[in-house]
Structure 1
Amino acid sequence: MSKFKALPVDGKPITTFSDEDTAWQQVYEGLKTLIDELRKTFTIRDDYRKEMQGTEFLSQEHITLNDIFVFPVINSERNSEETNEKTIENEKELLTDDHILIHGERLSGKTAICRHLYLSLIEQSVPVLYVDLDTFGRRADDDVFHNSYERQFHGDYTLWSKQDDKLVILDNLSNQTIEHVTSALECFEKVLVTVETDTYFAYYRDDERLAKFRKVEILPLTHSKQEMLIRNRIKLSTKDRQVLDGEIDEVENRVNSVIINNRILPRYPFYVLSILQTYEGYMPNDLSVTSYGHCYYVLIIAHLFRSGIARSDDEINSCMNFAENLAFEIYLRGTKEHRIKQELIEEFKNEYGKRYLPLRDSILNRIFDQNYGIITNNQKFGDLYQFRNPYMYYYFLGKYLARNCDKHKDVIESMVTKSYVTTNCLTLIFTIHHTTDDQIIEDIMLQTMCSLENIEPAILNRDETNVFEDIVKGIPSQVLSSESVQSERTKEREARDNHEFNSTNNDDESGDESLDTVNDIYRIMTNNEILGQILKNKYGSLERERIADTVETIVDGGLRLVSSLLSNQDEVNHIAVYLHERNPELNIHDIRKMIRLMSFLWTMQNVEKIVSALNKPEIRPVVQDVVSRKNTPSYDLVEYFLRLDTVRKFEDNDRRKLKSLLDKHNYPFFQKVVSFRTQRYLNTHKVDTPVEQAVCSILKLKFRSRVKSLT
């Protein structure tokens, strides 16, 4: 009790005072001082702090926003003095301007960054207020800020509002709440606003009331930031041990297989964490849908619930059936961007009502709800409607085709034949998510085996790879880094970002019927991607022989791609002479060198693509059986690269495998590419020092100490 002050002075009973008025005056003055102090003590309420630290997608109460938060990718729009967009790296850079407008897609993390900034500024004793505009109407006045303050803080609002450099965070600006921004500019020195990108472009991009605001945009996470998010999440479940880099690799691969290079899902924290949660806690009882398919299903159900659809099987099934049929209608009558005109939507509703029991208007309104519905009208495209996210369109189209595969056999066969078209490839992947019929898989495998069928798979033995002799000599023998593992992992993921950006922008959407060889090449590439998805999704329900056949189809297909550009020395000379005759200004020696380099890069790229398609730790025993049976350097190379990509930790048995391979294939190409790939692994993964020293001895490298990672 010693920390409490008793009144009157010294805690003497009032009755002992000779003048009781003096005693009561002391009580009055003491209480007045206490009340004044409380009015000036602007501390956040405990219940509100807990609310702001909460995360909607994680059920464990002990996990807070601070546990998993990763600063998002935020780009600042160019102003008149800048030539390029600027990436904002941290909250200090974000808050450099007094007036900031953040726009981003739904679920991109706008509210999370608002909450993070709010809690961070509270810790720094910066006067800050958070206002969710979704909870207020269009009428703006000081009561909005007063009421928000009373809910969030102890202390007197009038005194708090007299502080300098106050910041108000206005989250979820809509087309009806702009007056709150005007009011905030009158009451606060600093204002931060968030708004959905669609709303921003439709209503506010050129609005004079927002002229003084610096506009910034939240973008999908980079691979490096995604790794940080995954690592933060996994650490919470493994507090009693160190998280292995190979463990992170395995989870990353799982997440990336669902996201599919940002083509299906944007790499926003909400989606990454939802995928992780789905895998951890909610595996499907219905074996007609794959584990990846179940991830998409869970996300769709969450959207339906948010839109107000009742949590009953009847209502959900009605919505799903409607969406499946609409997806096929969009496939037949929509644009190549999978959008459909409003008039065609109305026609579809009428026809649907004749074939099935019509949906109630209340359900249709929720399906088409602009804020939460699974189908939306993007005002940038006029009267065109589309599914809110690409994964929704492909999920429902795939489900429709899986349920009606006999009726639309010609559609599926056409897609299989032209699988090199991106939309066909993605549709087939999602159709396979929903079907238990192996016919589509068999058709894809047959198409793969028949593509470039006159070309034998590359063996990559000494004779085939002699053409790379000069290139192999030019590769540094030692590429071990002295930088930290985390620094090297960041570089590796930056390279993934660049590759993903280039591959996404170069997606082929049409094909050329006259270029059979080119189409065969693209067909093998995309079919290997599809077959890889099959292995990663359905390995538990496939017979061992079917897995082996699929593995062999993928590897042989990829190695035929290698052979398509793998030329011997005579062929290189022939091509070089041909090109030199038509371009005499070019040096023939340089032409030969360029041809060899292109062939080498093509070889390694396709080997890596094969490995990526097989990247599922559970199927490695089957892969090893196939490799033993084929017994070629190329298959050995694939198996070793796959080992590096799937082991959680490189240990003695992996070191022994490395040594046996180098003893077995003692020629420059094999030795150099295996050494290079192993060193790349050592750069990006923590390995026990004795094992790493032994590997360096095998590769005839100098062991180096390195900077320790912070993680």
Structure 2
Amino acid sequence: MNIEVAVSKSATTKDKGDLLEELAMHLLRAQNYEVEREVRKTGVELDLLCKHKANNNKKLYVECKAYKDDNNINAGIIVKLLGAMQLEECEEAWIICTCELGKDAKGVVDKLTSKGRTDITIYTPSKFITVLVDANVIKSEDIANHSISKILNRNLYQDSTLLVTPVGIYWTYRKKKEKTDTRVFVVDAKTGDIVVDSDILSKLSTFDSTMCGFEFCALIPASISTTNGKGVVEYKFRLDDEYVQSIKDTGVMYTHPHKRVLDKDDLFIFPDLQLVNEDDKISSAELMSFDEKYRKNIIFGDELSGKTTLAQKLQRIYVESGNIPVYINACDINFSNLEKFHKILRRQIKLQYANVTDEIVGTIDKSKIIIFIDDFHNTTLNKDAASQLFLAIDKEYESIIWLMNTKQELELLANDKLVSELAEYNLYRIKELGFKLRDEMIKTWISIGRVDTIYESDKHNQVMEIAEIINSTIGYNYVPTYPIYVLTLLQSFEASTVKSLQGSAYAEFYNYLITHALGTAGVKAAELNLYYSLLSELSHYFFVGSEKEISESNTRKFYEEFCNRKMLDRKFDKTKKILIQSKILKSENDSYRFNHSYIYYFFVGKYLSDNAQKNVDIQQKITDLTKRLYLRECANIVIFLVHFSKDQFVLDNILLEAKKIFTEISLATFAEDEFANINRLVEAELRIILEDKRPEETRAKQLEIKDSLNENLPKEPTNETDYNSDIKELDVYRL
């Protein structure tokens, strides 16, 4: 990897050095350093003198050298650095350069290394680029490659350079050792987007660099030529502005202290995708390249897992790379006829793209079309008709991404008619956000509206604080960790006057999730108590009946009895629709169950709390629950029970059981023989090695380990232990 500092031809060598220093300052500030620039001391001028904010005694001296690639760092520069370092009593020193070390400089470095000197770091181009990427100062070359390879054959354009200029930092690409082709293509290193601004490209071509005078080209989206009766007109495909705004709309009114209206771009992160029937996973960001490997894909996902958001994000990326991606919702498909599908496709192109006429649609190169077919599980077609349409579309188009519910997964894989065609597809399942991606989403939330003003140390501390609360709230499979749920918790946290929650107060978050879900389904505030009462009784019905799900007829019977007791005249179908739409209940095979375990635990706890004082049987159930806190179900119900009830009876039962835990263990007396037993276990002196790493790097590594461990945990509690009958009676709801 190469770095060039390019300025106007009239600029001085100092101007070039100043640009490199500015880039170095971005890196240092990201690493929590305060930077003093162009420090003049007796007999020496220092480029950058830095103090660490967390440790003011730690001083760092940085020397920046913006040399052309035909120059090298000589030994004199390193010797000068050592002298300045000693004069200023710096603990560490860096050289940041745009060239490699000369032979004599390498000899000095080798000599220092042999003496155990680790306080001097020399950042040659590739090493400097790596730390800039790690500190999020620039986007990696891999991301720039993704952008370029969507339009160009990346194998032909292998000569890449990081170009540092007064108008920005850019990745540039040209053909290696090609004298006749002087075209240069440019990607913004801050955003990873292809540069098409003609003013910027024109300026870049005039700067003093090895590419001065070359043709800096814009890579534009797909275009076609058509006629308008007066000659040939070139049409460039771009998504319609109104359509883009509609697919960026979150559909939910999120509030944020630093931005009035949020859209999906403010909140989006690429989820991981699990390969079906395999242990491997990839980041969905890999689909951005859309090379031959990713031409045909099927993505399965639960409701609210983010399938549609991912599809529409990819659509906007693909159109920038010269393709014509079209989004189609399968709800509009009620036929297996391919010609009717073509009509829908043409209509959607005209709706989704700006100023498209029938004539333009008729001239489109089919190989440029990428079809997204979303919610294929919601089509009204029967199995045979759906298979027929799948095969017809698969045969007609080269690039297709199908998005389906996870329930469709088994049906599709078991369909004998599609076996050979499925072999050509990548089959993925959208994963819930792990610890690392949750951190990324929290960082994204915290940074909204203040990317340039928030210090990395402040961001790191806020992320840790919020992540601890959210991860505790989510618990073990309480709440799905898809983006919509994490964002709802973030919104709840932002809106809450209680910024630090303790113990059962975490249940307020679950209360927020439930009221938010009912609200989005159209339940008014005045109706919430009624729905809470209904769900409390329904959860208790599950609890005492040892049920995981109940049939349609039993659910309808339960509801009618509830309405009779409450003297209500409310139709079952209307209430059922609201509970399904809000994702409180799930309907499968003419039966109903609670959609998420936290909803069930929440309402069982509420029912027990509401009825404990007037019902002896309920009191006995609470006593039995507190005796079985080693069972996850019992512990979870008691957590919510404690939130709803401050009855001393409940607390006394918990304390009584807690005191029984260590009754067979004697108190430690710290006698000599006790220490002797401990000392015999120690075979070697403990050594703690503290690595000099940024807190963010250490945390990222820890989260990767947690994600790896979490992958191996069972998604549902097992039921292998042989419990006593009274435990079995309680241990009824395993999600």
TM range (shorter): 0.5 to 0.7
Structure 2 equivalent of residue 55 of structure 1: 250
Structure 1 equivalent of residue 571 of structure 2: 360
Greater per-residue helix proportion: 1
Structure 2 equivalent of residue 66 of structure 1: 265
**Residue 158, structure 1, aligned to residue 367, structure 2:** no
TM-superposed CA distance for 1:508, in Å, is 6.7
Instruction: Judge conservation of contact 2:626–2:654 (CA < 8 Å) in 1.
Output: yes
Unaligned segments of structure 2, at least 5 residues = 1-197, 199-225, 728-735
Distance in 2 (alpha carbons) for counterparts of 1:493 and 1:159: 51
Structure 2 equivalent of residue 313 of structure 1: 526
**Residue 215, structure 1, aligned to residue 427, structure 2:** yes
**Residue 241, structure 1, aligned to residue 448, structure 2:** no
Are the structure 2 counterparts of residues 238 and 290 from structure 1 closer, same or farther at C-alpha, using a change threshold of 3 Å? Answer: farther
Select 1:276's aligned residue among 482, 490, 511: 490
Distance in 2 (alpha carbons) for counterparts of 1:169 and 1:105: 17
TM-superposed CA distance for 1:272, in Å, is 0.9
Q: Indicate the larger mover: 135-144 or 211-220.
A: 135-144
Report matched runs for 1:171-190 at 5 Å: 171-173=374-376, 174-176=378-380, 178=386, 181=390, 184-185=393-394, 187-190=396-399
Select 2:514's aligned residue among 300, 306, 316: 300
Kindly provide the amino acid, as one letter, of the partner of residue 298 in structure 1. Answer: Y
CA-atom RMSD in angstroms: 3.6
**Residue 339, structure 1, aligned to residue 552, structure 2:** no
Secondary structure of 1:170's partner? strand
Distance in 2 (alpha carbons) for counterparts of 1:350 and 1:296: 28
Kindly provide the amino acid, as one letter, of the partner of residue 397 in structure 1. Answer: V
Are the structure 2 counterparts of residues 458 and 425 from structure 1 closer, same or farther at C-alpha, using a change threshold of 3 Å? Answer: farther
Are the structure 2 counterparts of residues 85 and 347 from structure 1 closer, same or farther at C-alpha, using a change threshold of 3 Å? Answer: same
Distance in 2 (alpha carbons) for counterparts of 1:270 and 1:304: 15
Distance in 1 (alpha carbons) for counterparts of 2:332 and 2:530: 31
Instruction: Judge conservation of contact 1:170–1:181 (CA < 8 Å) in 2.
Output: no
TM-superposed CA distance for 1:420, in Å, is 1.0
Are the structure 2 counterparts of residues 300 and 454 from structure 1 closer, same or farther at C-alpha, using a change threshold of 3 Å? Answer: same
Instruction: Judge conservation of contact 2:539–2:604 (CA < 8 Å) in 1.
Output: yes
Instruction: Judge conservation of contact 1:221–1:269 (CA < 8 Å) in 2.
Output: yes
Are the structure 2 counterparts of residues 35 and 253 from structure 1 closer, same or farther at C-alpha, using a change threshold of 3 Å? Answer: farther
Q: Indicate the larger mover: 401-410 or 475-484.
A: 475-484
Kindly provide the amino acid, as one letter, of the partner of residue 481 in structure 1. Answer: E
Are the structure 2 counterparts of residues 115 and 437 from structure 1 closer, same or farther at C-alpha, using a change threshold of 3 Å? Answer: farther
**If the length of structure 1 is used for normalisation, what is the TM-score?**
0.59
Deviations 1:265-324 (A, max 9, x none): 12211111110101112569xx9x9653332233223433454x442513x333222211
TM-superposed CA distance for 1:464, in Å, is 4.5
**Residue 398, structure 1, aligned to residue 597, structure 2:** no
Structure 1 equivalent of residue 475 of structure 2: 260
TM-superposed CA distance for 1:169, in Å, is 1.0
Distance in 1 (alpha carbons) for counterparts of 2:272 and 2:284: 9
Kindly provide the amino acid, as one letter, of the partner of residue 269 in structure 2. Answer: V
**Residue 251, structure 1, aligned to residue 466, structure 2:** yes
**Residue 98, structure 1, aligned to residue 313, structure 2:** no
Instruction: Judge conservation of contact 2:460–2:696 (CA < 8 Å) in 1.
Output: no
Distance in 1 (alpha carbons) for counterparts of 2:322 and 2:660: 68
Instruction: Judge conservation of contact 2:330–2:379 (CA < 8 Å) in 1.
Output: no
Secondary structure of 2:400's partner? strand
TM-superposed CA distance for 1:208, in Å, is 3.0
Report matched runs for 1:104-503 at 5 Å: 104-134=301-331, 137=334, 140-154=340-354, 155-156=356-357, 157-158=360-361, 161-173=364-376, 174-176=378-380, 178=386, 181=390, 184-185=393-394, 187-202=396-411, 205-206=414-415, 208-209=417-418, 211=422, 212-236=424-448, 238-239=450-451, 240-242=453-455, 243-261=458-476, 263-282=477-496, 291-307=505-521, 309-314=522-527, 316-335=528-547, 338-358=548-568, 359-367=570-578, 369=580, 372-379=582-589, 383-406=590-613, 407=615, 408-456=618-666, 464=674, 466-469=676-679, 472=682, 474=684, 477-482=687-692, 484-501=694-711
Secondary structure of 2:448's partner? helix
Greater per-residue strand proportion: 2
Distance in 1 (alpha carbons) for counterparts of 2:670 and 2:468: 27
Deviations 1:156-214 (A, max 9, x none): 45256325242111122224264764564355321101111124335675263563433
Instruction: Judge conservation of contact 1:72–1:219 (CA < 8 Å) in 2.
Output: yes
TM-superposed CA distance for 1:343, in Å, is 4.5
**If the length of structure 2 is used for normalisation, what is the TM-score?**
0.57
Distance in 1 (alpha carbons) for counterparts of 2:409 and 2:516: 25
Secondary structure of 1:257's partner? helix
Deviations 1:670-706 (A, max 9, x none): xxxxxxxxxxxxxxxxxxxxxxxxxxxxxxxxxxxxx
Q: How many residues align?
A: 470
Kindly provide the amino acid, as one letter, of the partner of residue 495 in structure 1. Answer: I
Secondary structure of 2:535's partner? helix
Instruction: Judge conservation of contact 2:272–2:284 (CA < 8 Å) in 1.
Output: no
TM-superposed CA distance for 1:468, in Å, is 4.3
Secondary structure of 1:55's partner? coil
TM-superposed CA distance for 1:490, in Å, is 2.5
Secondary structure of 1:241's partner? coil
TM-superposed CA distance for 1:442, in Å, is 3.4
Distance in 2 (alpha carbons) for counterparts of 1:77 and 1:504: 17
Are the structure 2 counterparts of residues 121 and 333 from structure 1 closer, same or farther at C-alpha, using a change threshold of 3 Å? Answer: same
Distance in 2 (alpha carbons) for counterparts of 1:462 and 1:66: 64
Structure 1 equivalent of residue 216 of structure 2: none
Distance in 2 (alpha carbons) for counterparts of 1:129 and 1:67: 23
Structure 2 equivalent of residue 631 of structure 1: none
Kindly provide the amino acid, as one letter, of the partner of residue 430 in structure 2. Answer: I
Q: Indicate the larger mover: 206-215 or 140-149.
A: 206-215
Are the structure 2 counterparts of residues 48 and 296 from structure 1 closer, same or farther at C-alpha, using a change threshold of 3 Å? Answer: same
Secondary structure of 1:131's partner? strand
TM-superposed CA distance for 1:390, in Å, is 1.2
Secondary structure of 1:37's partner? strand
Deviations 1:606-644 (A, max 9, x none): xxxxxxxxxxxxxxxxxxxxxxxxxxxxxxxxxxxxxxx
TM-superposed CA distance for 1:136, in Å, is 5.5
Distance in 2 (alpha carbons) for counterparts of 1:354 and 1:143: 52
Are the structure 2 counterparts of residues 459 and 101 from structure 1 closer, same or farther at C-alpha, using a change threshold of 3 Å? Answer: farther
Instruction: Judge conservation of contact 1:423–1:509 (CA < 8 Å) in 2.
Output: no
Structure 2 equivalent of residue 535 of structure 1: none
Deviations 1:432-464 (A, max 9, x none): 232343542332123112322242455889875
Distance in 1 (alpha carbons) for counterparts of 2:685 and 2:416: 56
Instruction: Judge conservation of contact 2:540–2:604 (CA < 8 Å) in 1.
Output: yes
TM-superposed CA distance for 1:42, in Å, is 0.7
TM-superposed CA distance for 1:252, in Å, is 0.9
TM-superposed CA distance for 1:373, in Å, is 4.7
Structure 2 equivalent of residue 660 of structure 1: none
TM-superposed CA distance for 1:74, in Å, is 0.8
Are the structure 2 counterparts of residues 508 and 440 from structure 1 closer, same or farther at C-alpha, using a change threshold of 3 Å? Answer: farther
Kindly provide the amino acid, as one letter, of the partner of residue 256 in structure 1. Answer: N
Kindly provide the amino acid, as one letter, of the partner of residue 400 in structure 2. Answer: V
Instruction: Judge conservation of contact 1:399–1:430 (CA < 8 Å) in 2.
Output: yes
Deviations 1:124-181 (A, max 9, x none): 2322112233456557522221222122112345256325242111122224264764
TM-superposed CA distance for 1:466, in Å, is 4.7
Distance in 1 (alpha carbons) for counterparts of 2:695 and 2:496: 33
Are the structure 2 counterparts of residues 332 and 483 from structure 1 closer, same or farther at C-alpha, using a change threshold of 3 Å? Answer: same
Instruction: Judge conservation of contact 2:556–2:572 (CA < 8 Å) in 1.
Output: no
Distance in 2 (alpha carbons) for counterparts of 1:475 and 1:109: 51
Kindly provide the amino acid, as one letter, of the partner of residue 407 in structure 2. Answer: D
